[in-house]
Amino acid sequence: MAVALGAALPAAAGEEPDDPQFFDHDNVTTCEAAIAAGANFTGDTELGEDIVEGTVTDGKILEIEQVDDSWTITAVIVKGGDGYHVYTQPPFEGREFVSPLNNGGQLPNISHWFVCGEENGEEPTTPPTEPPTEEPTEPPTEEPTEPPTEEPTETPSESPSESPSESPSGSPSESPSGSPSDTPSPSPSEGDDDGGELPDTGGSPAVLLGSALVLLAAGALALRHRFVKP
């Protein structure tokens, strides 16, 4: 209670206020807003529950525990009633945090709180890995494989096989035995009224006609010699 009463002086009194800093105006929910309002601390990152855990007792007293040491706590801000406190002096663990007294001199319930901080800036003991001094591999001086100097296989000098030297054995040695030995009998000539046929003399009509003419000429000559006397 003595701390809370002593901290009730305005922060704008011209002197650096003791911890905690007291603000009785506005409302802040971020570290940046608290710094902009005049809070004296660095580190404008709100630390989540994975970094800082808090417990509020009876709704009025806050205690925190840091669970991730890779961050540094720079302020604890507690809002209640008409104002808020900004705690900037360590230690922060094992300590009780309260909001400012209200106008009636009573300690109000904490409406909200948050913790500000910054990530530790320690350099790693050794850099992870240095970049390689050279390129991992140099480009090959030549093409990986040269094209073959010759065609993989030569084309055959000759055709796979020559055509047969001679034509097949030839046409059949002899033509078929020939036309039938006898020609068919001549068509029937015009016959007598009774439809009879003339016998086949075996001679050609032209030969017969020639013979008849010779006989006629010989007969005529004989008759001339008979009637003409010398």
Instruction: Give all strands (DSSP E) within 67-206, no chain letters.
Output: 71-80, 83-87, 112-119
- Kindly provide the b/e burial profile for residues 124-151, where b requires at least 16 CB atoms within 10 angstroms of the residue's own CB: eeeeeeeeeeeeeeeeeeeeeeeeeeee
Distances (CA, A) of 101 to 27, 82, 229: 15, 8, 204
**Structure token pair of residue 137:** 């591999």
**Please, which pLDDT band fits residue 25 given cuts at 50, 70 and 90?**
confident
The residue ranking higher by pLDDT, 58 or 6, is 58
Residue whose entry in the numeric block shows the structure tokens 């002593």: 6
Show me where the domains of the chain are located.
2-119
- Strand duo 71-80 + 112-119: pairing: antiparallel
Q: How large a percentage of the chain has pLDDT more than 90?
A: 40
**21 closest CA partner among 80, 75, 87, 79:** 87
Amino acid at position 169, single letter: S
Q: Is the whole model's pTM more than 0.75, yes or no?
A: no
Instruction: Give all strands (DSSP E) within the chain, no chain letters.
Output: 21-23, 45-46, 52-57, 61-66, 71-80, 83-87, 112-119
What does the pLDDT look like over 133-159, one tens digit per residue?
666 566 656 665 666 566 655 655 555
The residue ranking higher by pLDDT, 1 or 22, is 22
Check whether 19 has a pLDDT greater than 70: yes
What does the pLDDT look like over 154-210, one tens digit per residue?
655 555 555 545 554 544 444 444 444 444 444 444 444 444 454 555 556 677 777
State the CB neighbour count (10 A cutoff) for residue 68.
Answer: 14
The residue ranking higher by pLDDT, 11 or 71, is 71
Check whether 3 has a pLDDT greater than 80: no
What's 135's DSSP letter?
-
Check whether 89 has a pLDDT greater than 80: yes
Per-residue confidence (pLDDT) for residue 94, from 0 to 100: 94
